Chains A and B, each alone.
Chain A
Amino acid sequence: MLERIVTGAHYGLRDWLIQRVTAVVMVLYTLSLAGYWLFQPVMDYNAWTLFFSSNFVRTFSLLFLLSVFYHAWIGVRDIVMDYIKPAFIRLLLHVLVILALLLYVIWSVQILWGI
């Protein structure tokens, strides 16, 4: 009889779903921004900062960036799990990626609300 391999929590399906939900958020944001800026006559510093001074744009942008970071975590984690076998290096890479992404979250808030 095969021994049961304990792989921890059942996070596979949840991550699969989050990967897709964040993807849809990013698609909607990209299409909205492209649709908006394609039809703007002027694209300069004033127009750009006016755009980002709106609270709706800031919130939507942060939602987009958080989606990017979570999506990146799932993708990079999958790549590390597929190609990096030694447990220590794998763990180290996971920790570094998580730390980097958490710092990006803080940085994003500073960028969007720091004008």
Chain B
Amino acid sequence: MMNKKRPKHLALHKIKLPLPGFVSILHRVSGLLLFFFLPLLLWMLQASIRSIETYTQLVEILQHPFSKLLVLGLLWAFFHHFCAGLRYLALDLHMLSGLAQARASSKWVLGISLLLTVLTGGWLC
């Protein structure tokens, strides 16, 4: 009975993550992504208010397709982290705690953050 093999190696690629788990790992990924891009975001804020020249320069840089793609990615990271974070705050208040609600709210988080990304992306670009 006691000769279980340790350590146990999990075949991660064979495990299908439940939807709330998927939202959870994306919360980490999006948070880390936002952390890595903090210097760029601060630099953008600085350029936008420092002078009319740096402002115009920034607007020009943001016209580039590559910049737009990056902005879109960061918008998604922001909105996903935002929506998933609100869901966690709700969970802290003992809301959405049933399995069905946990699944449904995970779908809403994924959907709304994508929708907000598309909407703000379209509005900005």
Interface residues of chain A, those whose CB is within 8 Å of chain B, are 20, 23-24, 27, 30, 45, 48-49, 52, 68-69, 72, 75-76, 79, 100, 104, 107-108, 111, 114-115
Contact of A104 among B32, B38, B50, B92 (CB under 8 A): B38
Q: Which residue of A lies closest to B47 (CB)?
A: A111
- CB of B52 within 8 A of chain A? yes
| A52: chain B residues within 8 A (beta carbon) | 49
Minimum CB–CB distance from A87 to chain B (whole Å) comes to: 19
**B99-125 near A? 1/0 per residue, CB < 8 Å:** 000000000000000000000000000
Instruction: Report how many residues on chain B are interfacial, defined by Cβ distance under 8 Å.
Output: 21
Are the C-beta atoms of A48 and B55 separated by less than 8 Å?
yes
Cα A68 to Cα B92 with chains together (Å) = 20
Contact of A111 among B28, B35, B49 (CB under 8 A): B49
Given contacts A45-B55, A48-B48, A104-B39, 5 further A-B contacts (CB under 8 A): A23-B85, A27-B82, A69-B38, A104-B42, A111-B46
Are the C-beta atoms of B35 and A115 separated by less than 8 Å?
no
**B16-35 near A? 1/0 per residue, CB < 8 Å:** 00000000000010011011
Name the prevailing secondary structure of the A interface residues: helix
Cα A29 to Cα B42 with chains together (Å) = 16
Minimum CB–CB distance from B60 to chain A (whole Å) comes to: 13
- CB of B86 within 8 A of chain A? yes
Are the C-beta atoms of B82 and A115 separated by less than 8 Å?
no
| A20: chain B residues within 8 A (beta carbon) | 89, 92
Cα A100 to Cα B86 with chains together (Å) = 27
Restricting to B84-103, which residues have a CB under 8 Å from any CB of A? 85-86, 89, 92
Contact of B49 among A24, A100, A115 (CB under 8 A): A115
Q: Which residue of A lies closest to B86 (CB)?
A: A27
Give the interface centre of A52, A69, A75, A108 by most chain B CB atoms within 10 Å. A75
Cα A90 to Cα B112 with chains together (Å) = 35
Q: Which residue of A lies closest to B48 (CB)?
A: A48
Are the C-beta atoms of A23 and B35 separated by less than 8 Å?
no
17 A-B pairs within 8 Å (CB atoms) are namely A20-B92, A23-B89, A24-B89, A27-B85, A27-B86, A45-B55, A68-B38, A72-B31, A75-B32, A76-B31, A76-B32, A79-B32, A100-B39, A107-B46, A111-B49, A114-B50, A115-B49
